[in-house]
Structure 1
């Protein structure tokens, strides 16, 4: 089988994960590790089944928050990259501040956002946007910048306008770089949502894990970790599949 579901691609990590879980389970039994210190995989699964209605409610809250922030971050990052590319003066003036946004600790920024925008979901969405837009902006800018100079000269000599050069040459050429930024943002968005919920929220996986951590319920903390990892992998996989489909369609159209 070809494509992303080839056995030779997924079998080795699957076997390694199974071996890791088996060793983990046997170690907790042999060394009689306390549940509040390190629960076994079986105990985590049992607690996940028992807590499923509550976990599902928190998962849906995190899912909604992540998708809204991720979509907004993509849009803002893409538009920012286009503006910086088309207007070099704006790029030279704003690029340092673009870098600065990634050097401000989220933990330090979150209290300010709460003061400015209240306790609703809007401050948490802003946190996700700040984390997500930067990879999309930088990767798209690099893709636009690396357009074939020979093709640029050819289209300019052919009488193509700047709009035609951008829409038919530069933007299509930047699509692979754009998807590189989307993959990074996809994983960052889930982590940003978790941090935002941990700092200030009444629902979501971050809130669930904060409560579990306060109660020394390590099994519930691991449930939250598993959900975050799975959600990140699913979102990343969706971006990969979309990239394969879009680039294949683009190639067939070309």
Structure 2
């Protein structure tokens, strides 16, 4: 058996308990709904959720496309802004003293309080939702990048400095490669938050998106469709997480080999 086959076999073997646990949870859910004869508006069964998912698949997909566009655009913008802010605060101690406390304080303001202001100032278009995603993703990416850039081998930095290396050369040769694992860890955290940010923006005011679908289904007491929207949001969040994980494996093959 090849090394790749052994890895796939190990992943499949490790995933079996998770699949069994998921199946048991769904079975208990289905049996409980049937046994207690719970109404659809109160608690739909897994079978009812699957039927709602399939019945409204075209409408659900159209709303999902809007959320995908908002999430992807906001996520890319947050990465770009985090790179600029992180590098600036690492290379300039003055910039870090000025802006890092503001970065921390910004996280004390609830997103549910900021999103309505964005809609009030920018309208009901895509821009407020994209900015909501940026606000959600910017903090974990920036903090992870700063932590990774600052945790470097001082001996290597002093060696390069003694050889006349500039700050940019030390950043490129030592700091940036050393920061990549932490940077990707921040990306994975932000990836799970990004869809949530878009949905919150849509929930507060939009014409399309999974947040709109969720709100309309809730107002019409279609709890099965609410659960279908939750499933779609969960799958979309998992997609972004798996995507970042795959990019990390391609970008850091040496780290994957070390971990395995």
TM-score range, shorter chain: over 0.9
RMSD, matched Cα: 1.6
Indicate how the Cα distance of structure 1 residues 122 and 34 shifts in structure 2: closer, same or farther if over 3 A, else same.
same
Match for residue 134 of structure 2? 129
Q: Where do residues 165-176 of structure 1 align in structure 2 (5 Å cutoff)? A: 165-176=170-181
String of CA shifts for 1:106-129, please: whole Å, max 9, x gaps.
221122212221221111111110
Give the TM-score taking structure 1 as reference length: 0.95
Q: Secondary structure at the match of 1:174?
A: helix
1:179 paired to 2:179: no
Q: Could you report, residue by residue, the CA deviation over 1:85-139 in whole angstroms, capped at 9, with x for unpaired residues?
A: 0111011011111112211112211222122212211111111101101101000
Structure-2 separation of matches of 1:3 and 1:20: 26
The correspondence of residues 36-55 of structure 1 with structure 2, limited to 5 A, is 36-55=41-60
The aligned residue for residue 207 of structure 2 is 202
Does structure 1 residue 154 correspond to structure 2 residue 159? yes
2:3 matched residue in structure 1 = none
- In the aligned structure 1, how far is the partner of 2:170 from the partner of 2:234? 41
Tell which deviates more after alignment, 234-243 or 109-118: 109-118
Alignment equivalent of 1:6, drawn from 11, 17, 20: 11
Matched, 1:64 2:69: yes
Distance 2:9 2:94 in 1: 42
Q: Distance in 2 between matches of 1:3 and 1:79?
A: 38
- 2:101 is matched with 96
**Aligned partners of 1:235, 1:4: CA distance in 2, in Å?**
24
Residue 219 of structure 2 is aligned to residue 224 of structure 1? no
CA contact (8 A) 2:217 2:223 kept: yes
- Alignment: residue pair count: 252
| Residue 139 (structure 1) aligns with | 144
- In 2, Cα distance between the equivalents of 1:23 and 1:57? 32
User: Match of 2:250?
Assistant: 245
Cα distance in 2, alignment partners of residues 139 and 17 from structure 1: 32
**What's the CA shift for 1:157?**
1.5
TM-score normalised by the chain length of structure 2: 0.93
Q: Distance in 2 between matches of 1:5 and 1:201?
A: 45
Given candidates 7, 15, 26, the residue that maps to 1:21 is 26
Aligned to 2:193: 188
Structure 2 alignment gaps of length 5 or more: 1-5
